[in-house]
Structure 1
Amino acid sequence: MAARALADTVLDTAIVPGPRRSDELRTVLLTGASGFLGAYLVHELVNRLGVRVWCVVRATGPVAAQRRVEAALRRHRLWSETTMRNVGAVPGDLTAPRLGLTAADYQRLAETTDAIVHNGARVNHAEPYERLRAANVTGTVEILRFACRSATIPVHFVSTTSVAARQDTPVREIVPGLPGNADGYVLGKWVAEVLMTQAAARGLPVLIHRPDRICGAAATGATGTDDAFWTIIRAIARLGVAPAIADVAISLVPADYVASAIAHTVGQHPRIGARAPVHHLVNHTSITLEAVLDRLRANGFPVEIVAPENFVVELSRAARTDMGMARALILSQMTGPGTSEWDDTTTRRALSGSGITCPPMTADLIDRHLDHLTEIGFLPNPAA
């Protein structure tokens, strides 16, 4: 797996940026718009920058693509007619040559796009690198090829802090060497970061954004249901038991902060340099798992603390008839790199004067997420 990943870090020599278009920002191309963070990015790009956003979406046609973006905005309480007037969608596929676009769409977008936010990826921490490679690595190469097609189009790449997580801290805002013991998803993101740095060295304006674990908006708690953390919380709520690891610190980054920070820097235009700058989008505050369990109890979910092995036994039984529990069981067996301290000096400098700051971890923030997840049926009704 590592050998193949290392081989993939060599960027095609034909990918070379052309002449720079004007710095006027009118149109942004966005991948991953139908996903969780993608919906927030659509909202922030349109409403913060006043640009038109074209979304490349897996769909059977333009109407279906537009509906997928609209559904994502509605799902996360972001939809408005005003926003949608500035959103367009085209069917595409990151795993395909030319991003799966028609020749006409590819040419039109290459000639009119002023910036790219590459957020699209296949997210699965249980799948091997080979199965994720087409979407997460080949797709990134195709984005870079597109960025150099007609002119030089700045690229904002959404990565993850997992690429650089280390026990020794603080973790600097640079692209590290090959991460050890990385799963296929993290390894693919690292390869993509290395490809971005090579494109930057050739003169393409590139900025790498590394958000930590993302939660819903600070005001609404409207989060995605695929996240590992909330999958485990759902399992705890349904089983009524939690493992005895209550002192674990939980640090989440609200999606509206991540999206607004990225949108702000899109408006700043990344500079051309020998290295691709990296921005850590992290929360310097945390809350313990015990405090999260207390909020579950306060919201009507009785939770008993049991030995970790007993929790796994209960989870294994439930996994026989519940796919969500099966996923929680897999996630419970995976170990992360541990807690890291993140240097975000470059990020804070870029956001200086913008008023954009990361909301702190509080009991209220957890409550808003529990309310939202119960409302949409992801968590069981406490009264039941």
Structure 2
Amino acid sequence: MTGANGFLGRFLCLAWLERLARTGGTLICITRGADPAEARQRIVAAIDSGDENLSVRFRALADDHREVLAGDVGDPYLGLDRPTWSRLADSVDLIVHSAALVNHMLPYSQLFGPNVVGTAEIVRLAITARLKPVDYISTVAVTALPGGGFIGEDVDVRAASPSRALDASYANGYATSKWAGEVLLREAHDLCGLPVTVFRSDMILAHSRYAGQLNVPDMFTRLMLSLVATGIAPRSFYRLDAAGHRQRAHYDGLPADFTAEAITTLGAQVTGGFRTFNVLNTHDDDISLDRFVDWLVASGHPIERIDDYDDWLARFEAAIESLPDNQRQHSVRPLLSAYAHPAPARPEAQPPSEQFRAAVQSAGIDGFADVPHLTESLIDKYIADLRRLGLLAASPSHG
């Protein structure tokens, strides 16, 4: 497994340890570090970030079922010495490739090494000595087509999107680097018969149970912090109808614990072929950014709704600038361009994800009979976690 110290990676690591503990298997984690001890500490630091129960459970499993190697996916042979690399080529049964440089502001040229070359090195390992199935963590941004529309789960990405334009638009470089990874894996499957399962995630939200387990730098966490800290929100984040009313809308994110369990369960089941899952919350349930603000208000946070969107945006930006340094640094300030205009009001997820939902319903995933709805308790947990991290005051206030 690569990327075990990442936000999703730590929960994939835990889910695989739980699974391997039942069979006596071993999870081999390749993580950057000067030596295995430093690499191991990077994973431990990611786990030890808020919940003692999580830390205790992880250590109990890791002691008997985990090996950590210091390496770098962007280097030849994953940065490993040749004897170690050859050992992995001979002995590994499955590769989970979740490592990536996730940065929506960097251009493709700066993401090519870690994200594209890194995937090529994974392919090299996967086809050496014997074929090893690969679970590849991609992004739903790959599905968007320039002329509109989305790539389906059973469509060859090379045929649907044979080339990608490089530009300065938000997340263009990251999306293109993950598209390139999918292309490499498709080629390896066609040429060598490599079994591959691609998981295209959208926003991976906080863990629904473990305290402090949220991705502080992501757009969603920054927005939740900013709304509560400034105490203002638009009447709607989406375009109003002709009568000026809010419309049904949808937010595609999924909690990290469900995402990790789904990827681990489905990835373990596929040993042949090439399958792709768009890992999305597809419910037409009117649970959207507007609903999240409703829930925040219901929980006692004094948030004023501003009727005019442009007025809100101007006041919001000014209020963020006046926040204390620590809050301003972790606010949505660097990503405000994403909120320059109200979003289209769509009642459900756009990219097709019927195969993913059907697979979840039939897979018997621990604790989940279906793709979950987002809940008020998860939004409340965001605020509790942000308080735990010292990024919000102990009681609701206006910043």
For the aligned pair, the TM-score class normalised by the smaller chain equals 0.7 to 0.9
**In the superposition, relative to structure 1, how do residues 314 and 38 fare at CA in structure 2: closer, same or farther (>3 Å)?**
same
Aligned to 2:11: 40
**In the superposition, relative to structure 1, how do residues 64 and 137 fare at CA in structure 2: closer, same or farther (>3 Å)?**
same
Ranges in structure 2 where 5+ consecutive residues have no aligned partner: 239-248
Aligned to 1:199: 188
- Tell me which amino acid in the other structure corresponds to 1:45: W
- Over the matched positions of the two proteins, sequence identity in percent amounts to 29
Aligned to 2:208: 218
C-alpha contact (below 8 Å) 1:231/1:324 kept by paired residues: no
Between stretches 242-251 and 373-382, larger displacement belongs to 242-251
Deviation at 1:314, TM superposition (A): 1.2
The answer as to 2:96 corresponding to 1:84 is: no
**In the superposition, relative to structure 1, how do residues 379 and 316 fare at CA in structure 2: closer, same or farther (>3 Å)?**
closer
2:272 alignment partner, SS class: coil
- Tell me which amino acid in the other structure corresponds to 1:172: G
- Candidates 351, 354, 365, aligned match of 2:364: 354
Between stretches 57-66 and 69-78, larger displacement belongs to 69-78
Write out aligned runs for 1:99-178 (5 A).
Answer: 99-165=78-144, 172-173=152-153, 174=155, 175=157, 176-177=160-161, 178=163
The answer as to 2:165 corresponding to 1:185 is: no
C-alpha contact (below 8 Å) 1:57/1:93 kept by paired residues: yes
CA distance, structure 1, for counterparts of residue 359 and residue 293 of structure 2 = 36
Aligned to 2:392: 379
Between stretches 184-193 and 342-351, larger displacement belongs to 342-351
C-alpha contact (below 8 Å) 1:206/1:277 kept by paired residues: yes
1:117 alignment partner, SS class: strand
Aligned to 2:377: 364
CA distance, structure 2, for counterparts of residue 321 and residue 218 of structure 1 = 28
Describe the superposition over 1:315-354 as per-residue Cα deviations: whole angstroms up to 9, x where unpaired.
Answer: 5624894585476222120379965434333324444141
Aligned to 2:26: 52
C-alpha contact (below 8 Å) 1:237/1:380 kept by paired residues: no
1:33 alignment partner, SS class: coil
Q: How many residues align?
A: 352
Ranges in structure 1 where 5+ consecutive residues have no aligned partner: 1-29
CA distance, structure 2, for counterparts of residue 253 and residue 294 of structure 1 = 19
**In the superposition, relative to structure 1, how do residues 169 and 301 fare at CA in structure 2: closer, same or farther (>3 Å)?**
same
2:332 alignment partner, SS class: helix
1:196 alignment partner, SS class: helix
Deviation at 1:76, TM superposition (A): 6.2
CA distance, structure 1, for counterparts of residue 259 and residue 60 of structure 2 = 22
C-alpha contact (below 8 Å) 1:319/1:326 kept by paired residues: no
- Tell me which amino acid in the other structure corresponds to 2:253: L
Describe the superposition over 1:62-102 as per-residue Cα deviations: whole angstroms up to 9, x where unpaired.
Answer: 11111221222232643323221212211111222111122
C-alpha contact (below 8 Å) 1:242/1:304 kept by paired residues: yes
CA distance, structure 2, for counterparts of residue 319 and residue 220 of structure 1 = 28
CA distance, structure 2, for counterparts of residue 179 and residue 381 of structure 1 = 46
**In the superposition, relative to structure 1, how do residues 319 and 94 fare at CA in structure 2: closer, same or farther (>3 Å)?**
farther
Deviation at 1:114, TM superposition (A): 0.7
CA distance, structure 1, for counterparts of residue 391 and residue 126 of structure 2 = 39
Aligned to 2:333: 329
CA distance, structure 2, for counterparts of residue 299 and residue 325 of structure 1 = 25
Deviation at 1:293, TM superposition (A): 1.8
**In the superposition, relative to structure 1, how do residues 76 and 253 fare at CA in structure 2: closer, same or farther (>3 Å)?**
farther
- Candidates 224, 229, 242, aligned match of 2:220: 229
Between stretches 68-77 and 307-316, larger displacement belongs to 307-316
C-alpha contact (below 8 Å) 2:327/2:391 kept by paired residues: no
The answer as to 2:198 corresponding to 1:208 is: yes
What root-mean-square deviation, in Å, do the aligned CA atoms of Structure 1 and Structure 2 show?
Answer: 2.7
Deviation at 1:359, TM superposition (A): 1.8
C-alpha contact (below 8 Å) 2:326/2:391 kept by paired residues: no
TM-score (norm 1): 0.82
